[in-house]
Amino acid sequence: MRKGLLFGLAALAASASLPLAGPAVAAEEGPALPKLEWSFDGPFGTYDRQSLQRGLQVYREVCSSCHGLKYVAFRNLADLGYSEDEIKAFAAEYTVTDGPDDDGEMFERPGAASDYFPAPFPNEKAAAAANSGAVPPDLSLMAKARAGGADHIHGILTGYEDLVPDAVLQSIFEHETMKNEEKYEADLAEYNDKLEAYNDKVEAGEQARRPLEPVQPQPIESIEDLGLAEVSNFNAYFPGYGIAMAQPLYEDGVAYADGTPATIDQMAADVSHFLMWAAEPKLEDRKGAGIKVLIFLVVFTGVLYAAKRKVWKDVH
Ligand code: HEC
């Protein structure tokens, strides 16, 4: 009998620990994304308010000139520990378009707490024109939209040529060289088949066109060999390695209010943390509810077991 209960509890414990094992983070191809330890990971995860505030600072001072955050209202910043007055002051720094007024005209006014972060460009065309043809995506849901989540954003921000370790560059070069060679082998096999068919036709006196022999690829030994588009910047963690966004973070790009040294890695981690909150502001409530359900299930299992023993007491 006791065994049955133990087994039940063990199964429950096993299912409870499942969320601990997050999905393995690996880019579809190329080097695996570096996996950071986030305070919001795991079943008891919570956001780190200090990091969120620093991340907001990075977003406002660096990213907001190109990227919008259209699903985040200024009043939501109360979650980060800001007072109503502080939030009003943040909002008032932005100009929002409102209207139409009684004359049918749109007008501009300072932002209020109930406004959402305004988009930096009036429309997609203007956004593309200012960014060599690529539209900077809205970042509200970015942390949930990409496999890897906050690690993806952190990876992109630290994946530029001068920031990634040499070993990562080398692994990309090897990977791409191998991919080219595999393609060459496949092309060569196809070519040989075609050549055979061609020779047969020629022998039979039929008209035929000689197939083109594939060119053996050169090994890839540098970023130039990758042949990225001219407007692209190399990025180890962006699919295809070429991203239109120029490296946005530089050492001491912001002066943190809490005195934390503003290294590139620190700013990248803070802004990724902040964007995770932007994409899932209710994460803590969700995890809290999950834990409550699990506790309930454990207690309820005990109650059921006790009841069963009582009911069957005289039979056994
Ligand atoms: C000068 C403009 C500019 C600034 C500043 C800028 N970005 Fe970007 N960002 C872009 C553009 C343009 C793209 C689209 C790139 C592409 O599609 O190749 C982009 C793309 C991205 C992506 C998408 C990557 C993906 O997986 O699709 C993320 C994430 C991102 N930026 C985050 C940030 C963060 C965080 C900051 C602030 C630290 C920032 N950006 C600052 C212009 C900018």
Q: pLDDT, tens digit, for every residue of 10-60?
A: 555 545 444 444 444 444 477 899 999 999 999 889 999 999 999 999 999
> Tell me, what's the pLDDT at 4?
57
Average pLDDT over residues 274-299: 94
Averaged pLDDT score across all residues of the chain = 91
CA angle 179, 182, 188 (to 5 degrees): 140
Q: Using CA atoms, how far apart are residues 220 and 173, in angstroms rounded to an integer?
A: 5
7-26 CB burial, b ≥16 within 10 A, e <16? ebeeeeeeebeeeeeeeebe
> Tell me, what's the pLDDT at 314?
86
Average pLDDT over residues 115-142: 94
* Å from CA of 139 to ligand 1 middle: 9
* pLDDT bucket at 108, cuts 50 / 70 / 90: very high
> Tell me, what's the pLDDT at 3?
56
Which residue minimizes the CA distance to atom 30 of ligand 1?
153
Q: Using CA atoms, how far apart are residues 188 and 267, in angstroms rounded to an integer?
A: 48
Please give all residues whose beta carbon lies within 6 A of any atom in ligand 1, as ranges: 58, 62-63, 65-67, 131, 134, 136-137, 139, 142, 146, 153, 156-157, 243-245, 248-249, 271
By most ligand atoms within 8 Å of CB, the mutation choice from 245, 252, 267 for ligand 1 is 245
The tens digit of pLDDT for each residue in 174-207 reads 999 999 999 999 999 999 999 999 999 999 999 9
Ligand 1 atom nearest to CA at 131: 12
- How many Cα atoms occupy the beta-carbon half-sphere of 80 within 13 Å? 26
> Tell me, what's the pLDDT at 2?
53
Residue with tokens 């990227």: 67
Could you tell me which residues come within 8 angstroms of residue 290 by beta carbon, excluding any fewer than 6 positions away? 19, 43
Average pLDDT over residues 301-308: 96
Residue pair 264/249 in contact by the 8 Å Cβ criterion: yes
> Tell me, what's the pLDDT at 68?
95
Q: Is the pLDDT of residue 219 over 90?
A: yes
Ligand 1 atom nearest to CA at 132: 12
Residue pair 168/31 in contact by the 8 Å Cβ criterion: yes
Which residue minimizes the CA distance to atom 20 of ligand 1?
136
Ligand 1 atom nearest to CA at 153: 29
